[in-house]
């Protein structure tokens, strides 16, 4: 304990998911998470503000990956193609499917976790809207493209973690985007 270790955040996150799975989210304390990871409670709080936050450690990386892809897309790309590039970029920073499934199951069964998840998603949508505006996309088109991107992400992601699903996240995101195009063109 206390010695330097790489990936402290990831170790804490993994320990937390294990314990939430074994004992339930409510029944697990921060001290237990730290102990399972071979770290101290103080170290935990250097990395995460509270017990909830350990489940949302990836949100920052997600936002960075998405907004960087938006900023770096070719100047000529239409907003929806910029979204497609952003979705592919975030697929690359996702944990493996088993971990994502565990996490989803914990978050989905606790309203306070679901609330934080929705806040993170809204924050991501706002950051993507901003990144689109910075490319010169008009305000409403930027907001709609970002929200459409979030919709595609949500549906593709939920499909990816569904039981028995075998296909990979980038494929499912691309497929969801095609389906959204088909749905919106259908009127």
Binding site for its own copies (CB under 8 A): 78-81, 84, 111, 114-116, 118-119, 121-122, 140-141, 143-145, 147-148, 150-152, 154-155, 158-159, 176, 179-187
In the complex, minimum distance from the CB of residue 183 to its own copies, in angstroms, rounded to a whole number: 5
Sign of CA dihedral 116, 162, 69, 131: negative
Task: Specify whether the CB–CB gap between 44 and 133 falls below 8 A.
Answer: no
- Separation CA 81–CA 74 (nearest Å): 10
Which residue's CB is nearer to its own copies, number 22 or number 72?
72
Query: Pick from 163, 187, 160: which is nearest to 171 by CA?
Result: 160
Residue 151: partners with Cβ closer than 8 Å, 6 or more residues away: 180
Nearer to its own copies, 43 or 129 (CB): 129
Q: Closer CB to its own copies, residue 8 or residue 144?
A: 144
Nearest distance, CB of residue 105 and its own copies, angstroms? 17
Q: What residue has token string 């944990």?
A: 95
CB of 80 to its own copies, least distance (A): 4
* Closer CB to its own copies, 42 or 185, in the complex: 185
């Amino acid at each position: 304990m206390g010695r330097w270790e790489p990936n402290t955040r990831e170790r804490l996150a993994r320990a937390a998911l294990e314990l939430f799975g074994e004992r339930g989210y409510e029944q697990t304390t921060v001290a237990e998470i730290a102990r399972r990871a071979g770290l101290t409670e103080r170290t935990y709080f250097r990395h995460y503000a509270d017990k909830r936050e350990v489940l949302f450690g990836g949100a920052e990386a997600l936002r960075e990956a998405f907004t960087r892809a938006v900023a770096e897309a070719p100047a000529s790309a239409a907003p929806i193609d910029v979204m497609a590039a952003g979705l592919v970029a975030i697929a690359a920073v996702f944990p493996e499917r088993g971990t994502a499934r565990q996490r989803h199951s914990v978050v989905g069964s606790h309203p306070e976790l679901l609330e934080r998840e929705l806040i993170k998603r809204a924050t991501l949508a706002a950051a993507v809207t901003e990144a689109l505006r910075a490319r010169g996309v008009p305000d409403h088109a930027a907001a709609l493209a970002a929200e459409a991107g979030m919709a595609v992400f949500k549906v593709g992601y939920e499909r990816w973690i569904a039981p028995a699903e075998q296909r990979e996240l980038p494929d499912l995101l691309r497929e969801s985007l095609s389906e959204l195009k088909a749905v919106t063109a259908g009127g």
